[in-house]
Amino acid sequence: MHFEKGSTDAARKIAGAWIMRNMPEISDRIACGLPEYDDRLKVWRISLKPVQGISTLGEIQIDEGITNVVNVTNIQLISDRLKKRSEHKKPSRSARKNIFIPAPVPNKVILGDSIRVLEDFPPDTAQLIVTSPPYYNAKTEYSEYVDYQEYLDFLRKVFIRCHHILSEGRFIVINVSPVLIKRTSRNTSSKRIPIPFDIHGILDRIGFDFIDDIIWEKPEGAGWNVGRGRRFKADRQPLQYKPVTVTEYVLVYRKRTDKLIDWNIRNHYNRELVEASKIDGDYDVTNIWKIPPGSNKCHPAVFPDELVRKIIRYYSFKDDMVLDPFGGSGTVGRIAYEMGRRFLLIDREPSYYEYMKKSISALTKQDVRVDYLIANNFDEE
């Protein structure tokens, strides 16, 4: 349904009059946002925000015919939110950088603990982070955490460092899924650990805003080897149903900022790179990406090339630095290089470092500078 500008102006006028009449004490400190028509509710929805600020205080809903206010957020709640927002000092707009310029860091492959390694990099090192955290006790060889909370604490420390070096308003994309802990005997049950949902809380508190949950869908039957669902297939008893998992999450977050995404586009230091990075041809319209899983004899859970290629294509410009703090087999670095981006790969497993070093060296063939480093603080406590 399309509405002319006059419709939005009329809706905003009714909302403004309602605010003046019902909230006279604070009306001069509240502004109306852009009216939007909700086809589901059949109402106009107008967000309320502080005159000085962008946070949402509440909402006014106006009937479809733009004649009356039909619903509004509790007035006391709006007032309380306004008071709370005013207690936080806003950053000065004059302090903003006019042009974004990234830190001039060359391609690197580093053996070390990301928590310590990333401390040595300055802000604006990375313009995109693409990673898949290590498993939590999913397989025997990965059982290196005392308990689940220690695992989450480890991820939090890594993501804090990632937040520090990621440029303002840029993206971190994390491939993660619930982990199945198999039962230890016939008298115990298996357990699924909801890692994606716990990671959200960690990222939100660090300073990342949730943007999208992309679903990576694998071919049907891809997860049958884990044994999930076999008992139900045999017995068909209620309560025993467990679907075979053929999806993983690709969680997209943006480093929190009051700048719109357009700011990152308009204030890029090189307009030619911006133009060269435009998305040509077909693209993914929905958040369901159907991609076969990857495989590599040197790593048990590699990124599919296509998955990484899509992420880099949609969430970075050419010449951006792409970071993977859990480098693994180096897929992120390899695809970043092929797509005209720089890369920073870190892993604490020596065998993965050697594999990355070998594969990246063969790919770049000395055409570009790549630093292969072993962190001095790798074994420090």
On the question of pLDDT at 36 being above 50, the answer is yes
pLDDT for 252-273, tens place per residue?
999 999 999 999 999 999 999 9
What is 107-211+256-283+291-374's CATH number, 1.10.357.10, 3.90.550.10, 3.40.50.150, 3.40.50.970?
3.40.50.150
CA distance readout (Å), 49 to 71, 210, 265, 345: 17, 20, 25, 41
Measured CA to CA, the distance from residue 134 to residue 123 in angstroms comes to 25
Q: Which residue has the higher pLDDT, 237 or 95?
A: 237
Nearest-CA neighbor of 175 among 333, 352, 324? 324
Q: Which of 67-71, 100-104, 164-168 has the highest mean pLDDT?
A: 164-168
Q: Is 335 exposed, middle or buried (0-12, 13-18, 19+ CB in 10 A)?
A: buried
Domain segments of the chain as ranges: 5-89, 107-211+256-283+291-374
pTM, entire model? 0.78
Q: Distances from the Cα of 269 to the Cαs of 66, 98, 103, 186, 274, in angstroms?
A: 45, 10, 12, 61, 9
Length of the chain: 381
Q: In the structure, what pLDDT confidence band is assigned to residue 376 with cuts at 50, 70 and 90?
A: low
